[in-house]
Amino acid sequence: MLLSDTEVIDRIFDHIDAKSTDQGSNVWREPVDHYQSQERFDKEIRLLRRLPVPFCPSGALPKRGSYLTRMAAGRSILAVRGADGMVRAFFNVCRHRGMAVADGEGCTKSFVCPYHAWTYSLDGTLKHIPGHEGFPGINKEEHSLKPVVQAKEQGGIVFVAQEEPVSQGALGHMPNLLSSEQRLFDKSEFTDPANWKLVGETSMEGYHIKALHKESFYPYGYNNLNVIETFGPNARVVFPFRRIEKLRAKARHRWRLDGMVTDVYQLFPNAHLTVLSSHSLLIILEPVSPVRTRYEIFRIGNRGVPIEDSVKDASFVKDTGLQEDRNAAISMTQGLNSPANNFMTFGQYEEGAIHFHRHLDNLLNKL
């Protein structure tokens, strides 16, 4: 169970008064080779295929027939909301000659392979073969789209496990972070020359706020002042704004975190949900190689906020902080080739990152 608004605010006020922050009890040293090794990278990809990992927000599939395709752990995956309202996910591969049956996103009543027009229902069933007489004895059931092992909608997010899960990962400890009425208003993707873990680590602690975000975030927030909670392999990192001080003059029963903090929920292993004042971002990090990562970014309106206000908030916030984090991850990836470090050292202020690496190591050892 995560802390309530009042409990989080109490802890923030304690830290402001004591000039302190949440911190762990250990120092962690992560071998630099774990960021560079192709063998380690290949193992991480195998793990991503054997965990239920975030694929998209529920808002990306708003109605029956809505679908989304993208690369996940090196494979093209198709997620679709069926005629029954259920979300299913398939390998985006025609069972005839292997071409992708869908591209991008949209809404449809069926999927027609662009190569030979084999046609599939929303539930993946093969329903039409042009010139079917040329395929005597073919079993249509055996040539339906191949489903992933698990596709589940929970907490407003669609999770996909491509192969038999070694663990329920983030899904086993998933709170209700998003709701069905929260609309998706923007989706983007880009690729950076950076290791996916170095990218992810930038959102796992606030020790770097004053140094890296001196003009973007720090003027409105605090340096190295965070509330950190862990739930299963996941974590929640709370970044308070200075305006939270206004709550001291209000009765405790009126305390609310909305607009007073940035909440970052780390969804193990490769996604995080950032909840801002009027909109949220689900960012999924897709490893491409040890030194390349593709960002899948979904922008979502917050509960109770008119969608036009969410769009304005996204325009106002812009991506300055994200760009600063991207630049840091790219620089660190370039530094991997230097003989300067054998280990990345994580201190007690970086408990969120330590928690991530501890669980990642544990699951990789199970493969």
Residues 329, 254 share a domain = yes
If asked whether residues 213 and 344 sit together in one domain, one would say: yes
Mean pLDDT of 206-230: 96
| The pLDDT of residue 302 | 94
The proportion of the chain whose per-residue pLDDT surpasses 90, expressed as a percent, equals 95
Q: Of 134, 165, 196, which residue constitutes the final position of a domain?
A: 165
**Which of the four pLDDT bands, split at 50, 70 and 90, describes residue 94?**
very high
- Are 266 and 340 found together in one domain? yes
pLDDT at residue 121 tops 90: yes
321 contacts 221 by C-beta, under 8 angstroms: no
Q: Does residue 178 share a domain with residue 47? A: yes
179 & 90 share domain: no
**Number of domains making up the chain:** 2
pLDDT given at position 349: 97
Q: Which of 165, 198, 225 is a domain's end point?
A: 165
Q: CA separation (Å) from 286 to 54, 163, 225, 291?
A: 11, 17, 29, 12
pLDDT band at 242 (very low <50, low <70, confident <90, very high): very high
DSSP code for 241: B
Do 74 and 30 belong to one domain?
no
186 and 323 part of one domain? yes
pLDDT given at position 68: 98
User: What integer pLDDT is reported at residue 319 of this predicted model?
Assistant: 83
Cα 263 from Cα 212, distance rounded (Å): 19
Whether 1 shows a pLDDT value over 90: the answer reads: no
Last residue of a domain, one of 140, 165, 190: 165
Q: Following DSSP, what letter does each residue of 36-103 receive, concatenated?
A: H-HHHHHHHHHHHHTS-EEEEEGGGS-STTEEEEEEETTEEEEEEE-TTS-EEEEES--TTT---S--
Q: Are 240 and 225 in contact (CB under 8 A)?
A: yes
Examine the pLDDT at 316 and tell me if it is beyond 80.
no
271: nearest Cα among 301, 297, 303: 297
Q: Contact, 124 vs 110, CB < 8 A? A: no
Task: Quick: pLDDT tens for 29-52.
Answer: 999 999 999 999 999 999 999 999
> Looking at residue 144, which CATH number applies to its domain?
2.102.10.10
Which residues are within 8 A (CB) of 23 and not within 5 positions of it... i.e. 6 or more apart? Answer: 348, 349, 351
| pLDDT at residue 317 tops 80 | no
Q: What is the pLDDT of residue 300?
A: 96
Q: How confident is the model at residue 26 (pLDDT cuts 50, 70, 90)?
A: very high
What is the structure's pLDDT at 314?
A: 87
- Pick from 1-5, 41-45, 137-141, 179-183: least confident: 179-183
- Helix crossing, 351-364 with 38-49: angle to 10°? 80
Q: Are residues 118 and 179 in the same domain?
A: no
Q: How does residue 318 score in pLDDT terms, banded at 50, 70 and 90?
A: confident
Tokens of 249: 């003059």
242-247 long-range contacts (CB < 8 A, ≥24 apart) are 244/9, 244/12, 245/16, 247/9
155 and 10 in one domain?
Answer: no
CATH number, domain of 228, equals 3.90.380.10
My answer on whether 198 and 304 are in the same domain is: yes
pLDDT given for residue 149 in this prediction: 98
- Of 95, 102, 93, the C-alpha closest to 127 is 95
Could you give the 3-state DSSP secondary structure of residue 293?
strand
Residue 336 has what pLDDT?
Answer: 96
Query: What percent of the chain is modeled with pLDDT above 70?
Result: 100
**Is residue 184 located within the same domain as residue 329?**
yes
- How far is residue 116's CA from residue 162's CA, in Å, rounded to a whole number? 26
CB atoms closer than 10 angstroms to residue 362: 11
30 and 154, same domain (yes or no): no
pLDDT at site 92: 98
Q: Can you say whether the dihedral through the CA atoms of 310, 8, 56, 352 is positive or negative?
A: positive
Greatest pairwise CA separation for the chain in angstroms: 79
User: How confident is the model at residue 150, as a pLDDT?
Assistant: 98
Range of the domain at 132: 54-165
Categorize the per-residue pLDDT at 122 as very low, low, confident or very high, splitting at 50, 70 and 90: very high
Peptide bond into 31 cis (omega under 30): no
Q: What is the mean pLDDT of the chain?
A: 96
The answer to whether 190 touches 328, Cβ cutoff 8 Å, is no
